[in-house]
Amino acid sequence: MTANLLEFDLEGLAVFCEGLGEKRFRATQLFRWIHQRGMSNFDDMSDLAKSLREKLKLHAHVAALPILTQQISKDGTIKWLFDVGSGDAVEAVFIPEDDRGTLCVSSQAGCAVGCRFCSTGHQGFSRNLSTAEILAQLWFAEHFLRRHLNQTDRVISNVVMMGMGEPLQNYTALVPALKAMLDDHGYGLSRRRVTVSTSGVLPMMTRLSADCPVALAVSLHAPTDALRDNLVPLNRKYPLDELLSECTRYLEKAPRDFITFEYCMLKGVNDQVTHAKQLVQLIRRHAALGLRCKFNLIPFNPFKESGLLRSDDATVQQFAAVLLDAGFVTTVRKTRGDDIDAACGQLAGDVKDRTGVAERIAQQRAVPIQWHAATSSFDTPHT
């Protein structure tokens, strides 16, 4: 089997070229052809020596992911469903805005974290994507969009690892993909415009800050451990105080001077003024130790199996007002691509449930979860 060259960052490609008996600088030329020009046919790479092209034809290939569907929303958002084999599929979403083009990229087929409000989580974990499978989403989208929009300049200016999967549970494949995104010979994206979103895999946050510091978004969703344990099961392993301390440490190396906290607004569960006040207290305690952050409130995108509802607009505004009054920059995420189900948490499509996690979650849900404002407690069985 020959190597898919999308598997490599520039350093990896240099090692591969050396293995073919070629000088390292050839890798730079090759990397530029692939990522900057979108080429996959070695014969078209005109400044490569014929001898190298022949070797490449024998030992390498550049393979995109097969596309199962492409949907274009009225608002310009485009969603692709890619086939990654064995019945698994992952999605990438392009979100055009006036001043930027953002690609939302998947890191895993399914996800093992199993957040209650996330349709990917409800499917369970199938497998990690390879570097090539992560990078192929960007490679395809960028070069497709240039053709589609008849543009020679770069179309995608921002990447967010907010598609399917927990990127920090696929660290080994993630980092070379990030490096290719940042590389001036690759996509040349600024570190500030590449965002890893995590449910809080602490040890990997530490490693990311050392290996490849990019912008960080942390999916918070709750102001107390009791509530977060239930919504984001990983919290039982890495509770809030430890998570926030790690966020503060991350800032020492981060390209931005704040962490974005994502907070999915779930009706009656985490969206009350009491929660907002608890959140202010929690964050203030850590702000005193150096934590800087912004809040991004995400309207929940309901799906049947979750048994949860979207908070109404007035509740979201009230919640935002408490954070704003406390001095925290707070935005409410606009929903995009509604007509094609491209919004966060709806990326799952019809991917198989291999682990029975949906059943497990359905059992949990049989007992309704409820927030008791009077006692500030979250009434639900602990699993």
CB 217 → ligand SF4: shortest distance, Å? Answer: 11
**Segment near ligand SF4 (CB under 6 A); pick from 32-40, 118-126, 313-321, 365-373:** 118-126
CA distance 198 to 203: 12
Nearest residue to 243 via CA among 273, 274, 297, 282: 282
CA distance 353 to 340: 22
| Residue 166 binding ligand SAH, by CB under 6 A | yes
| Residue 235 binding ligand SF4, by CB under 6 A | no
Contact 122, 351 (CB under 8 A): no
Binding ligand SF4 (rule: CB under 6 A), the pick from 113, 247, 269, 361 is: 113
Binding ligand SAH (rule: CB under 6 A), the pick from 102, 123, 219, 224 is: 219
Cβ-based burial of 368 (10 A; exposed 0-12, middle 13-18, buried ≥19): exposed
| Residue 111 binding ligand SF4, by CB under 6 A | yes
| Residue in the shown chain whose Cβ atom is closest to ligand SAH | 345
Contact 79, 71 (CB under 8 A): yes
| Residue 308 binding ligand SF4, by CB under 6 A | no
**Segment near ligand SAH (CB under 6 A); pick from 37-45, 137-145, 195-203, 348-356:** 195-203
Quick one: how many helices (H) and strands (E) in the chain?
12, 16
Q: Give SS3 for 39.
A: coil
**Segment near ligand SF4 (CB under 6 A); pick from 117-125, 291-299, 327-335, 350-358:** 117-125
Contact 248, 209 (CB under 8 A): no
Tokens of 309: 């509802």
If the CB atoms of residues 199 and 230 are measured against ligand SAH, the closer one turns out to be 199
Partner touching 114 among ligand SAH, ligand SF4, none, CB below 5 to 8 Å by kind:
ligand SF4
Q: Which residues bind ligand SAH (CB under 6 A)?
A: 117-118, 162, 166, 197-199, 219, 262, 264, 298, 300-301, 344-345
